[in-house]
Amino acid sequence: MAGNNEDQERIIEKLRSRVVLLEQLLAVNNILIPPDADAIMAAGPAHLSFPELDFSEPKRKPPRKIEVKAALEDYFHVMAAMTSLWGHDGFEEYLARLIVDERGNRKGFSMEAMEEMLVLARVARQRKAFFGIGADGNSAAIWGEAQAISRKAASAT
């Protein structure tokens, strides 16, 4: 009988060491395992046990429509020219002429519109770096077309 007890104790000790090793591995890898309800009750006071984990889907609010208006939308002729130039060689040149006033007698853009133009300039520069030169390689024709669209839009307002 003494041999049986010693064998059982060795087996139990091996199991304990394996459980400890498993717990250490789980802790190192930040893996949480929800404890068994019976084990919680046997472990002792409730304040020492793990909190109940809730895996239910949170209640979601229905989506709201958000109205956003870009500051550049106040300048229809500028928007029309930018839209026609986007992706072409003349876009950055057009933006540069808008951002840096060379005529000197202009009121200028609002701060919000200026910020949007600077963002567009950065996006266009990154797009050009990624894709290469503009879509067509013929900026002179596009630039003339953009100026005509801009004049037409300005006279309509």
> How does pLDDT run across 63-117, given as a tens digit for each residue?
888 787 888 888 888 888 998 888 887 888 898 888 887 777 777 888 898 999 9
d(CA 95, CA 128): 14
Residues 148 and 106 sit within 8 Å (Cβ to Cβ): no
The separation between CA 156 and the C-alpha centre of its own chain, rounded to angstroms, equals 39
d(CA 22, CA 33): 12
The separation between CA 123 and the C-alpha centre of its own chain, rounded to angstroms, equals 16
81 within a domain of the structure (yes/no): yes
9 within a domain of the structure (yes/no): yes
Spell out a b/e string for 74-90, using b for 16 or more CB atoms within 10 Å of the CB, else e.
Answer: ebebbebbbebbbebbb
7 within a domain of the structure (yes/no): yes
- The residue segments making up the domain with residue 30 are 2-48
CB neighbours (10 Å) of residue 35? 13
Q: Model's pTM, two decimal places? A: 0.44
56 within a domain of the structure (yes/no): no
Count the alpha carbons within 13 Å of 134 in the hemisphere toward its beta carbon: 18
Q: How confident is the model at residue 54 (pLDDT cuts 50, 70, 90)?
A: low
60 within a domain of the structure (yes/no): no
